[in-house]
Each structure stands twice: as structure tokens, then as C-alpha cells.
Structure 1
Amino acid sequence: MKTNPPIRVGIIGATGYTALEAARLLQSHPGAELVAATSRADEGKPLAEIHPSLAGRCSVAIETFDAESIAAKCDVVMCCLPHGASAETVRQLVDTGVRVIDFSADFRLSSLEVYEKWYGVKHPWPERIGNVAYGMPEFFAAEIAKADVVANPGCYPTSAILPLAPLVKAGLVECDDIIIDSKSGVSGAGRSAKVATLYCETNESIAAYGVGTHRHGPEIDDLVHRIAGSEVSTIFTPHLTPMDRGILSTIYVRPKSASADAVMQCWQEAYRDHPFVSPVDHLPATKHVAGTNFVQMSVRVSGDRLVLVCVIDNLAKGASGAAIQNMNVMFGLEQTIGLN
């Protein structure tokens, strides 16, 4: 049963996979209600027609974006637009007084120069770069609670920051020699048609992409630095795998003197009060967290390296589940509500 009054939620850019996941999660959230959804096309169509899995559970219809109209009916808006297009929309919404959780990369980085270099666009709201709460409650809950804009984390960065940041902060690993090998399900590439994500291209295949050029690399380095206080240098390589959803990141670090037991102890202390992050003894797999907001991480020794393994669901903790968690923090609810 919904609480009274529920948090009124809008979704901008409602036709993609992250929007679908957010809408799905909101249907079972006892303290929130999806009241608006927008798209550049499909005006007037039921959202359940765009996403048939919502049939019988969602009565919201697609409307054309108008900041004043959306703000009048919403307490918080989840903006699921791509980078570049998102920032101006977020600014319009914030100017009306409504709070925003932005799924794009437009507000994640702390440097305008780094953002414009890696994303190749001029930022339309540059004064907010470095002045937006990063949506990882495990480290930034106090900022999120009072924020007008929350930058929802990238999916790959989530799977790297959570295992790395406590170890770097504790001084357990070398900061200048970190290798991150990440594998993602195809939903991470979005719902629009692309040759690289066609069934015949991805089925029975695995492929690296964005080697040395993927935009999540600087986000990982930036956020580990912000959390841990030490600059890091990482080599990040993403891969596309033939599964719908999930990310597995294997991270190779050089210990300063730390053992696997010391790593586990560090994680346990860092995440003792954070319900979604679980250090585990077994080697985690993406199916262990599929469809959930949970994170599993483990560690092994290989030669002179420690091997960290972390799994998340890219559409949940890597996107929409994190957004629900952030919404809960913003409105003073328990982080787990609607996510168990």
C-alpha cells in the first residue's frame, strides 16, 4: 500500500531500459508513485504500450516535456536523457524548484575541462560542474539528502569505485598500477538500434570496446580520488557480453603489504552500515545480483597481485536501483524501501 502522501515521481526520456527499470521499481515502492513520463516521440501513448511488461501495472501516458508542467505534478524527476542533452533539461527543471536525479554523465565529474575533453561538448551549465552530489549513498548520503540535483553514477564506475575506494583510502594498495577489466550485458548500450548490439553481432561473442577511450575511465579515477583523497591511475577496459544485464569487474591491484584477509576486513568495516554492499567469500557471478540493487565483492591472491571481483546489475545498482536508493535518501526514507 502506498503511504500518504507518496513521493510524486516523473521520468524524462521514458522509452529506454533505465526508464523501464525505474518504472518497474516504482510500481512496488510503498512510498512513491510514478505520475509523469515524457518522450520526444510517442505523445499520448500509454507507457505500458512502449514497455509491455508494465501492462496492468502502470496507467501513466507519455507527454511532451514542459518543465513547468512536469514540476507542477512532481516532487522529484528522474532524467534519463543522454549526456549533452540532459544538462539543459535538468537546469530547466531545477529552475522550477523540483529536485532531479540525473542519469547522464553531465554532472558526475568535478572538472569542466575533463568533462568537455572526454564528452566533446560544451557544458550548458558549467557552474554546476563539481557542485552536484554524486549519487552513491555509501559515501555521499549527507550531500544527497539536501541536494537539488543528484548525479546518478555510471554503471561501470559503480562496480569499480565500491571495491577500490576503501582500499585506497586505507592505504592498502598502490595507486598508480590498477587494472580494471569489466564485462557488461548488452542493455548497458541502451535501447536504440545499433549494429554492434544486434543479436547476430553479440550472440556467442564477447568483444572489448572503447579501449583507452571509454568515458567511464576518468569518472572512476575522479571519484576514487574524491572519496579516498589519493590520486589513482587506472587502465580501464570494458567488454560487451551476450547477456541482457549485469556487470562483472575484475580489478588487479598491487598490495602495499595487505593480505586478502586485510582487504575483506577493510570492506566489512567500510560497508558495515550499508545494506546493499556485501563482501563475500565465494567468487560472485552476475546472476547472484540480477534484478537487485545488491553488490557482491570478493578478493583472491594471484602472484604479487590482489584480484578484486565485483558484480552488480547494470540496470539496478548501476542505474535505476541507485536512483531509487538516492530518492529514498533525498526524502528521508530508509535506503532499502522499494528495493528489497
Structure 2
Amino acid sequence: MTYNVAILGASGYTGAELVRLIATHPSMQIVGLSGNSKAGMAMADVFPHLRHLDLPVLTTIEDMDFDGVDLVFCALPHATSQLVIKDLPKHLKIVDLSADFRLRDPADYEKWYGKPHAALEMQAEAVYGLTEFYRDDIKGARLVAGTGCNAATGQYALRPLIAAGVIDLDDIIIDLLAAVSGAGRSLKENLLHAELSEGAHAYSAGGTHRHLGEFDQEFSKLAGRPVHVQFTPHLIPANRGILATVYVKGDAQVVYDTLVAAYKDEPFIIMLPMGQHPSIKHIRASNFCHIGVVKDRIDGRCQVIATLDNLTKGSSGQALQNANLMLGLPETEGLMLAPVFP
């Protein structure tokens, strides 16, 4: 059986990544693409790397026909997404890639995003989209909320450790490097080549990054008490990828063994041999996450290092993984592409 899917916000990076992945998916076909600022244009003119594909012309969301569509990927900006999704036809399954439905508590959403939520009824039914930990809920969901890419990386490194109680929950530091595509495709002065290249800088330091809302929500739920990590992201002059070095207090071998046990049956989470470091270069344009554990020179401490591609495993690949589950398809379908190297 072939399922018809549409992508809202197809003119952005995550929209283009969805098109790239679904193009070779054996059970999905793209029947609608929206990009309000690019409406009327061919996808080949917006993203020339997709010119070999026979794709629908970009339309506005208002002009899109949802009859016969089984599932919609919503790759729209935060705040816009909730306004669009609440008015979509009720028969549609929806995978949202924005932040609008990630936080379960409306007060938390307002705290981190600066405005009240405009679709509270749908926020209450949304399932958090970290596939490896919510797959049973995702299978029966109508609306799945994709995670933040930084939040996903940190959670893959830490969730099994917090659940098993093998690290000090009051001494966790996440030091993260993020590529520039995570900031989206719109023009920003600080992302110009002359501003960004040959340098790196911290941003949203001091506990102000919005993905901390997800860390607080998920880690505290796991632990059964408040868990607040220290988290600082750094923008690096690379197009794709995230690498997080997570500093924890716990026995390195126990930490490693806990992660190996947690991920032994997960097709997309690859544990490296003890002491090896993962690299952004080794997961590029794939749905894989590589994790390594390194013992620290200070006894009782170690580092967990995790890397994934922010546009694939951190966003569009995760969205497709969730869509597979929602449609009753094999979870890995269309996603076993090897990373691109070099």
C-alpha cells in the first residue's frame, strides 16, 4: 500500500530534507507541497538538488487539497505551526517538526516561547516524538511533536543513565556544538559567511536556550523529581551536525554498560567501543546517532559524547521514523541510507 503525504513548509531546510528522504521511500508518495513565500514555484527552482524528482508545484496552505492525503508533515516556524495545525482536517495524521507541541504544560510553553499556546486541546493530545522512548504511544497517535535537535542529542546520551540512577542528577553539564542549518534558511546577519566562518561562539548561554524546557520536562519525568542540567550550545561553521559532550559523575564502565544495554536493539543508535569518540563526519545526512563513553582522569567522572545530523535524526529523519510507526510501516523504512563521507 502507498500512503499519500503532504509537506507544509517545504521551502525550508527540514522540508527539503523530508523530500530527499521520502523520494526513495517505498510506501509513501508526496502529493502536496506548501511554501507560502515560494508559492507557484517548482521545487527544482527552490532546491536545485531535487530537480531530478517529479514533485508537485509549491502552493499556499490555503490552496492545498487535503482530500486523499493520509499524513501531513508540518515543517513550519514555531507559533505558526499551531495556528495551521488546529484547522487541518480531522482525518489527517500529523507530524509536527516545530516546537509548538513539545511541552506538555501550557505554562512551560509560555515561559520558554513568550506567548500563550493557541491550540491547547491539540497540545494535550500530542505525543512527544523521541521515537526510541515513545514508540508505543506514537503508533496510535494522531499528532506527534518532533523534538528539538539539541534536545534529542542530549537525551540520547542521558535518558538511560537517569532512568537507571547511575549518575549524579545534580551534576550534569551538556556542552554542545551545533551546525548552522539548525538556525533555518531565512537570512540572518550573524549567519553570513564572513560573520560565521573561521570562528565559533556560544549562544543562549546561562540557561536561556529553549530546548532546556524539553530537558527539564523529560529528565524530571524520568527521575520522578526535578532535574536541571547545565547546557550551553555553540554555533560552529559547519552545515550539518550536532556533537554533544556530556559531563557526568558516575563510574565510566557502569555508564557504558547501561547505554549498551539500553540501545542494543535500536537500529539507529550506535554505541562505539569504550573509549572511542564519535564524529559529526560519521553520521552526516543519515538517521544514525553515534555515542561514545570516555573515562575522565578524575575518578568517578566520565564523558558521554553523542552526535547526530540535526536535519535528519534530529528533525526530518526522526519525523519520517515516527510517520512510519503512525502508518503501521516498518520503523526503518526509507531511513537506512548510509552516512555521506567525506
Classify the TM-score, shorter chain: over 0.9
Q: What does residue 16 of structure 1 align with? A: 12
For normalisation by structure 2, the TM-score amounts to: 0.93
Aligned to 2:37, what secondary structure does the other structure show? coil
Q: What does residue 188 of structure 2 align with? A: 194
- Deviation per CA, 1:251-306: give whole Å up to 9, x if none: 11112xxx222122211221122110111122000011001000011111221422
Alignment pair present for 1:244 and 2:236: no
Q: What does residue 269 of structure 1 align with? A: 261
CA distance in 2, matches of 1:216, 1:21: 22
Aligned length: 331
How far off its partner does 1:63 sit? 0.9
CA distance in 2, matches of 1:130, 1:264: 36
CA distance in 2, matches of 1:267, 1:230: 22
Q: What does residue 73 of structure 2 align with? A: 78
Alignment pair present for 1:306 and 2:285: no
1:82-93 alignment, distance < 5 Å = 82-93=77-88
How far off its partner does 1:130 sit? 4.6
How far off its partner does 1:230 sit? 4.3
Q: What does residue 93 of structure 2 align with? A: 99
Aligned to 1:200, what secondary structure does the other structure show? helix
Alignment pair present for 1:318 and 2:314: yes
Aligned to 2:87, what secondary structure does the other structure show? helix
Give me the CA root mean square deviation: 1.4
Aligned to 2:67, what secondary structure does the other structure show? helix
* Cα 1:34/1:229, change in 2 over 3 Å: farther
Q: What does residue 198 of structure 2 align with? A: 204
- Report the more deviating stretch, 42-51 or 223-232: 223-232
Structure 2 letter corresponding to 1:52 = P
Task: Report if the CA contact (8 A) 2:106-2:116 is conserved.
Answer: no
Task: Report if the CA contact (8 A) 1:27-1:58 is conserved.
Answer: no
Structure 2 letter corresponding to 1:276 = F
Structure 2 letter corresponding to 1:334 = P
* Runs of 4+ deviating beyond 2 Å: 127-131, 224-231
CA distance in 1, matches of 2:224, 2:327: 29
Q: What does residue 340 of structure 2 align with? A: none
Q: What does residue 270 of structure 2 align with? A: 278
Q: What does residue 50 of structure 2 align with? A: 54
Task: Report if the CA contact (8 A) 1:185-1:241 is conserved.
Answer: yes
- Deviation per CA, 1:125-163: give whole Å up to 9, x if none: 123335311111211111111111000111000100111
Task: Report if the CA contact (8 A) 2:150-2:242 is conserved.
Answer: yes
CA distance in 1, matches of 2:41, 2:271: 44
Q: What does residue 109 of structure 2 align with? A: 115
Task: Report if the CA contact (8 A) 2:162-2:222 is conserved.
Answer: no
User: 103, 122, 145: which one pairs with 2:139?
Assistant: 145
Structure 1 letter corresponding to 2:61 = F
Q: Unmatched 5+ residue regions in structure 1?
A: none
Identical aligned residues as a percent = 39
